[in-house]
Amino acid sequence: GENVEQHPSTLSVQEGDSAVIKCTYSDSASNYFPWYKQELGKGPQLIIDIRSNVGEKKDQRIAVTLNKTAKHFSLHITETQPEDSAVYFCAPEILYAGKSTFGDGTTLTVKP
């Protein structure tokens, strides 16, 4: 099965700084790479995703970059705000396989 590792497990930044979270996976067949944000007491919410035929995708202050050769992808958040504080999960998967493997999460704290 897929082995997924996220680094770092915790990340603390000052408001306005950038944050980067890296996800490493083992299954070279994975071709869909989403990131989820989970706030306290809520379910995960998809914030950005990328497919294997694309190297980078950006949506306002967040971006995802993919290195399929090295089998890792990263979440980039610029101009961080206190409301970005949450747990972030990566969940690489094979499209249409019907299941995904989540990392153990990265707790991001943005200090005002």
Partner 1 sequence: DAGVTQSPTHLIKTRGQQVTLRCSPKSGHDTVSWYQQALGQGPQFIFQYYEEEERQRGNFPDRFSGHQFPNYSSELNVNALLLGDSALYLCASSKRGAWGSGNTIYFGEGSWLTVV
Which residues bind to partner 1, rule: CB under 8 A? 1, 4, 32, 34, 36, 41-46, 49, 51, 89, 91, 93-105
Q: Minimum distance between the CB of residue 15 and partner 1, rounded to whole angstroms?
A: 25
Nearer residue to partner 1 within complex by CB, 1 or 112: 1
Q: How far is the CB of 38 from partner 1 (least distance, A)?
A: 8
Calculate the CA dihedral of residues 29, 6, 81, 38 and round it to 10 degrees. 80
CB closer to partner 1 out of 27 and 49: 49
Phi/psi of residue 86, nearest 5 degrees: 180, 180
- Shortest spacing between CB 47 and partner 1, in angstroms: 10
Joined tokens for residue 107: 């707790």
Which residue number, 17 or 44, has a Cβ lying nearer to partner 1? 44
- Identify the bridge partners of residue 4 per DSSP, sorted by sequence position: 25
CA 107 to CA 97: how far, in whole Å? 28
